[in-house]
């Protein structure tokens, strides 16, 4: 446009901005060769690691403008990599006007120093790494040096942590002492580094004393943690679930699912403001506090755990501090009793342990500790829904630390199997069943493993599904466990999700559609049912009773259900309202049963 269409070009002689060009009512700002050269020199002056371009196909790679092929990219290479091909003597367009007036946000005189104005530290003489990735700081236990591009650069641990060989750790595990003595090796290559991190977000102050571990609850009192979902009200007819459908006598704690993490600000935000705020679901659910129920807000869930935003949050001390300040305001504004963390999962994002960095594990624990320090003085609760997978537990959870700072840990002992396996399996096996893929894919193993890894039994709450995983059989005549499946089962008429049926949809099929039910006489797994090429595994009333008895046998902290809207809350099947939840309460809290629920289905 400039060469052949007579666009006018304006440049700033002080190089505070690149040029812009216009013709008629069209206007464009861009970087030309002189500006790219200026920015490349800035990279060298700042000691940065290099330059990046977006993108190769946008440079003049075919020399349309007559300077050379790739003129912008070649300019970067001339400055940063001593590219030997001399620069052509060309300039894009004639400057008709220079920007000389002082512009808001820009200095009025050309800066000759290499240091920009906005708090960026001066470049000091750098120390070489000499083969070392980490080096402890000489005087500050909370700092260390990291090798970057061949030079050691100072880094800081999170508040309250000391450097320990190759990671930030609790002070008692570190060789460094606050009086300045340390067993660490000396820094190679000169005196103290003068680099200081640029001031940004002030870290959340957890106080001079460490967060106090939360003791396990006393024996004999069991929690019944009920998840409320804010999307069930969009279901049609008898499937619609509202806050008014909650039976307050059947939950000690209600966890409202979900709020989400804003990917840009890394702060908590409502998931569905139409339900949460406009239709007052926050207020209508927290109103149950007047009945003695604790109500928490959950953040995360499977869908919101996609991508790296939770990892970015926990691995950045400033982001954690900002989140904590924000979540305090959120909880106070909406009158919740605490926060439930449902990131699925640290290190193993949506169960893929190759996706997240190893640092997720330690920094999630630090995040929990910092939240606890902020919540305890306010009398708020802090909990989490965690994975039942041995692989995820090992990779993502520092169990002893989480045990200290969570009020309870809700273990999601369900979804061990589903249509993704390409064969039938039980959604939530209680014990190992012969032929299962792994001997640790069952609730009994998972709960014992959490205890073995450092969780107090009374901190653990056992999750129980009020739904089933459904399958479409490859061969309708092969309808046992481990039968081949070609995909998810048909969607339910209310829940409308393939591979998933609410208990009230399952019991109706068994009661009125002649589905065949198969039960394990040894009680290792709950029942499954089939009809034609449709197959579903689930927990019925008897299985909920058996699992609730296990809660008592293992001296756990209680039971958790996913979710209130999936039980038979309208008594479609004749067992009374909320039959599964009532059985849990009968076993754990001695709530009287109105009917013989055990034989109802």
Residues forming a β-bridge with 485: 473
- Both 181 and 227 in one domain: the answer is no
- pLDDT tens track for 318-336: 999 999 999 999 999 999 9
- Both 90 and 127 in one domain: the answer is no
Give the domain extent around 561: 223-465+541-599
Q: What average pLDDT is seen over the chain?
A: 87
- Both 255 and 174 in one domain: the answer is no
- pLDDT tens track for 258-294: 999 999 999 999 999 999 999 999 999 999 999 999 9
Read off the pLDDT of each residue in 442-447 and give the average, rounded to a whole number. 98
- Both 274 and 373 in one domain: the answer is yes
534 vs 132 pLDDT, higher one: 534
- Both 195 and 228 in one domain: the answer is no
Is 138 considered catalytic here?
no
Read off the pLDDT of each residue in 163-190 and give the average, rounded to a whole number. 59
Residue 191 lies in a domain: yes
Q: Which of the four pLDDT bands, split at 50, 70 and 90, describes residue 201?
A: very low
Q: Give me the catalytic one of 37, 344, 370, 543.
A: 344
Q: Which of the four pLDDT bands, split at 50, 70 and 90, describes residue 149?
A: low
Read off the pLDDT of each residue in 201-213 and give the average, rounded to a whole number. 54
- Both 438 and 579 in one domain: the answer is yes
Single pTM value for the model:
0.68
- Both 59 and 151 in one domain: the answer is no
- Both 64 and 127 in one domain: the answer is no
Read off the pLDDT of each residue in 446-475 and give the average, rounded to a whole number. 98
Cβ pair 544, 414 in contact under 8 A: no
- How many CB atoms are located within 10 Å of the residue 235 CB? 17
100 vs 282 pLDDT, higher one: 282
| Percent of the chain clearing pLDDT 70 (strictly above) | 85
Task: Encode 464-509 in three state secondary structure.
Answer: EECEEEEEEECCCCCCCCCCEEEEECCCCCCCCCCCEEEHHHHHHH
Does position 179 have pLDDT exceeding 60, yes or no? no
Residue with tokens 């069952």: 442
Residue 536 lies in a domain: no
Does position 184 have pLDDT exceeding 90, yes or no? no
403-416 in b/e form (b: 16+ CB < 10 A) is bbbbbbbbbbbbbb
Read off the pLDDT of each residue in 417-425 and give the average, rounded to a whole number. 98
375 vs 204 pLDDT, higher one: 375
Domain CATH number, residue 389: 3.20.20.80
Does position 413 have pLDDT exceeding 70, yes or no? yes
- Both 240 and 371 in one domain: the answer is yes
């Amino acid at each position: 446009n400039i060469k052949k269409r007579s666009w006018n070009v304006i440049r700033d002689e002080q190089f505070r901005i690149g040029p812009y060009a216009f013709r008629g009512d069209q206007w464009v700002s861009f970087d030309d060769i002189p500006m790219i050269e200026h920015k490349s020199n800035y990279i060298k002056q700042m000691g940065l690691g290099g330059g990046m371009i977006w993108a190769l196909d946008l440079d003049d790679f075919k020399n349309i403008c007559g300077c050379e092929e790739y003129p912008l990219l070649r300019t970067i290479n001339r400055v940063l990599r001593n590219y030997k091909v001399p620069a052509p003597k060309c300039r894009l367009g004639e400057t008709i006007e220079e920007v000389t007036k002082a512009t808001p946000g820009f200095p009025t005189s050309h800066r000759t120093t290499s240091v920009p104005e906005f708090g960026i530290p001066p470049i000091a003489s750098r120390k070489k790494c000499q083969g070392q990735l980490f080096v402890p700081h000489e005087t500050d236990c909370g700092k260390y040096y990291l090798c970057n591009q061949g030079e050691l650069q100072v880094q800081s641990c999170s508040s309250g942590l000391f450097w320990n060989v190759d990671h930030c750790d609790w002070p008692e595990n570190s060789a460094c002492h606050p009086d300045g003595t340390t067993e660490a090796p000396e820094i190679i290559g000169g005196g103290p580094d003068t680099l200081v991190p640029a001031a940004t977000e002030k870290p959340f102050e957890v106080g001079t004393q460490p967060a106090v571990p939360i003791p396990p609850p006393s024996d004999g009192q069991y929690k019944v943690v009920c998840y409320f979902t804010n999307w069930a009200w969009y279901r049609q007819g008898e499937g619609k679930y509202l806050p008014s459908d909650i039976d307050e006598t059947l939950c000690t704690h209600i966890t409202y699912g979900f709020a989400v993490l804003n990917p840009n600000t890394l702060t908590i935000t409502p998931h569905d403001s139409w339900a949460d705020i406009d239709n007052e679901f926050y207020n209508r659910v927290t109103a149950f506090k007047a009945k003695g129920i604790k109500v928490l807000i959950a953040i995360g869930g499977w869908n919101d755990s996609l991508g790296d935003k939770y990892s970015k949050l926990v691995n950045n001390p400033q982001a954690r501090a900002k989140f904590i300040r924000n979540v305090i305001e959120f909880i106070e504004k909406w009158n919740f009793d605490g926060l439930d963390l449902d990131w699925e999962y640290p290190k193993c994002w949506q169960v893929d342990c190759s996706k997240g960095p190893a640092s997720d594990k330690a920094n999630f624990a630090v995040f929990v500790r910092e939240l606890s320090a902020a919540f305890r003085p306010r009398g708020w609760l802090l909990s989490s829904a965690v994975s039942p997978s041995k692989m995820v537990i090992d990779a993502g959870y520092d169990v002893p630390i989480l045990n200290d700072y969570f009020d309870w840990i809700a273990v999601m002992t369900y979804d061990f199997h589903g249509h993704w396996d390409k064969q039938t399996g039980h959604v939530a096996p209680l014990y190992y069943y012969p032929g299962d893929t792994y001997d640790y894919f069952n609730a009994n193993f998972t709960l014992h493993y959490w205890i073995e890894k450092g969780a107090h039994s009374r901190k653990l709450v056992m999750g129980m599904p009020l739904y089933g995983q459904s399958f479409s059989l490859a061969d309708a005549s092969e309808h046992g466990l481990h039968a081949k499946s070609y995909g998810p089962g048909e969607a339910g008429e209310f829940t409308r999700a393939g591979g998933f049926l609410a208990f009230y949809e399952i019991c109706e099929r068994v009661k009125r559609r002649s589905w065949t039910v198969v039960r394990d006489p040894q009680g290792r797994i709950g029942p499954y049912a089939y009809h034609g090429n449709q197959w579903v595994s689930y927990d019925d009333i008897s299985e909920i009773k058996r699992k609730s008895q296990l809660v008592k046998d293992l001296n756990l902290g209680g039971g958790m259900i996913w979710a209130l809207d999936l039980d038979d809350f309208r008594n479609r099947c004749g067992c009374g309202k909320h039959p599964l939840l009532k059985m849990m309460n009968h076993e754990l809290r001695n709530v009287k049963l109105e009917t013989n629920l055990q034989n109802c289905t």
